[in-house]
Amino acid sequence: MENKGIKIDRGRSHYYSRMIKKDGEYRVTFLKNDGSVRKMHASRSSKHPTKGGVSTLDPEKYTTVWDVENGGYRAINNDTIIEVEVLA
């Protein structure tokens, strides 16, 4: 994975990943699989219930959020979170 010269602080990434596991809205900046940086308006709220499916992703490695701008669930790799801003 090409990271375009961005250094990820693993300790801070894990702090941020614990932060976004709480209900709320966040602006999350993270490194995508292709190496590009993405900023996402993400929500962790009961307003966006799942359709009954069970996630098969490891919750220690990934956090599932609702992508407010694109209207769908997304998984964020906890190791690649660069920054989190609490919105609500």
Determine the pLDDT at residue 49.
63
Please determine, for residue 32, whether its predicted confidence score (pLDDT) is greater than 70: yes
The label of the residue with tokens 């996630």 reads: 55
CATH, residue 69: 2.30.30.520
How many separate domains does the chain show?
Answer: 1
In a domain, 66, yes or no: yes
In a domain, 1, yes or no: no
In a domain, 2, yes or no: no
In a domain, 58, yes or no: yes
> Which of 48, 55, 57, 54 shows the shortest CA–CA distance to 78?
57
Q: Are 21 and 44 in contact (CB under 8 A)?
A: yes
In a domain, 81, yes or no: yes
Confidence of residue 59 (pLDDT cuts 50, 70, 90): confident
Identity at 68, one-letter amino acid code: V
Determine the pLDDT at residue 1.
41
In this predicted model, what pLDDT tens digit does every residue of 1-29 receive, in sequence order?
444 555 667 678 777 888 888 888 999 99
Between residues 55 and 80, the one the model is more confident about: 80
In a domain, 5, yes or no: no
